[in-house]
Each structure stands twice: as C-alpha cells, then as structure tokens.
A = this chain, B = another copy of it.
Amino acid sequence: MTADDEVPIYDPEILKKFHLGERHETLKQDESLCVRPLYMSDYGRGFLELLGELTQVGNISEEQFQEQFNLMKNSHGTYYCTVIIDTIKDRVVGASTLLMERKFIRGCAWRARLEDVVVSPDYRGKQLGKCIVEILTNLGKALGAYKMTLDCNDKMLTFYNQLGYAKEPGNANVLSIRFPAPTLEPKL
C-alpha cells in the first residue's frame, strides 16, 4: 500500500464539521464501526464486492478504479462517496454516494441526490442503512442544497418515508430509457 492509497475522495473534516444527526452521534460511540469518505485503498476492503449486492459491477481493475476515483475527486465537490467500515475486520460494510449537482437556477444552487445505498447482508438489522441515509441527507443540507432527491422502487418507499423522504403530489415520476451495450468511457 502506498501513501496515495489512503487518499480520501473528499475532505474527511467535512463529516466532523457538521452535526449529521443522532444516528451518526451514536455510531461515533461504536469503536468497531466508522463512517468516513471512500479511500482509494478501499478497493482492497471489498468496496466493489459490496456494490455487487446492489447491481452488476463487473470486473474493474485497480487501475480503472483509481482513475474513476481521481476523476470524481477532482470534480469540484460533486461526489461524496461515503462508507461504513468494520474497523476490526477492516472491510467496507455499508456505502452510499451523495451527488451534489451544480445548477444555474435558484441563485446558482446545489441540488443533492442520494445514490447507491447498500449495506452488507451480514450487517443488516443494525440500522446501518438508515444511518448512512441520515448522514448523507444532513450533509446535503449542510452543504447548501435546496432539495435532495432519490429514485426509489415501490418496496423501499416505507424505508425512505421513515427518513423524511416523500413523493411530491403530482411531481414524483422517474422516467427512463435504457441503452444497450454501453461503453465504459465516453467515445472521445
């Protein structure tokens, strides 16, 4: 492991600077678990295997991972990939990303989005999902977003309702198009 491997994808002080909810405060008391930004070295802590619980991930080399990591890190406060670490096993056991989108509307505002929430099956029942959602929601607010949204299937509605997320009447549809055979990088 090189020094570079310990690079966080965003400044860890951000998680200390703000009050991010009671669940975060409680988690801080737990010495066996830790919430922090994704590190480059988390490639070796099972981060991609954990994402595999969510959807297909495919074979990503360490070099590919590092390249994507650096592009996200250098995108001016857009990507807040955050993980929960089992500090005893030194493994990633939960993860989600807060995506901060720059807008021109609303005085050059930020819109926040919650993406790719996942908890290891071995750690379910510990409310780690609620914990990471609450932390990143409070972070989106603290960073100045005017709203935060997420896309949700019908089965997860109750879970997110409990955490304060709701459909806006008459304005709650996600429409999509799926493209076949995507390439991995823009063809430029």
Are the C-beta atoms of B184 and A108 separated by less than 8 Å? yes
Q: How far is the CA of A154 from the CA of B55 in the complex (A)?
A: 29
Are the C-beta atoms of A153 and B170 separated by less than 8 Å? yes
The verdict on A151 contacting B174 (CB below 8 Å), with A58-B107, A184-B108 known, is yes
The answer, among B102, B105, B160, B168, for a CB contact under 8 Å with A57, is B105
Chain B, residue nearest A47 (CB): B104
Main secondary structure of the interface of A (DSSP, over half): mixed
Instruction: State whether the Cβ of A116 lies closer than 8 Å to any Cβ in chain B.
Output: yes
Are the C-beta atoms of A105 and B188 separated by less than 8 Å? no
With an 8 Å Cβ cutoff, the count of chain A residues facing the other chain is: 82
Are the C-beta atoms of A64 and B187 separated by less than 8 Å? no
The verdict on A174 contacting B176 (CB below 8 Å), with A108-B184, A142-B187 known, is no
A-B contact pairs, 28 of them (CB 8 A): A11-B188, A17-B188, A48-B104, A54-B105, A55-B106, A56-B106, A60-B107, A103-B116, A104-B116, A105-B116, A106-B182, A109-B184, A141-B179, A144-B182, A148-B176, A149-B151, A149-B176, A152-B173, A154-B171, A166-B177, A167-B173, A167-B176, A168-B174, A172-B173, A172-B175, A172-B176, A173-B173, A174-B174
Instruction: State whether the Cβ of A117 lies closer than 8 Å to any Cβ in chain B.
Output: no
Determine how many copies of this chain the complex contains.
2
Are the C-beta atoms of B64 and A108 separated by less than 8 Å? yes
Are the C-beta atoms of B177 and A137 separated by less than 8 Å? yes
Are the C-beta atoms of A152 and B175 separated by less than 8 Å? yes
* Chain A 104-139 residues near chain B, CB threshold 8 A: 104-110, 115-116, 137
Are the C-beta atoms of A165 and B160 separated by less than 8 Å? no
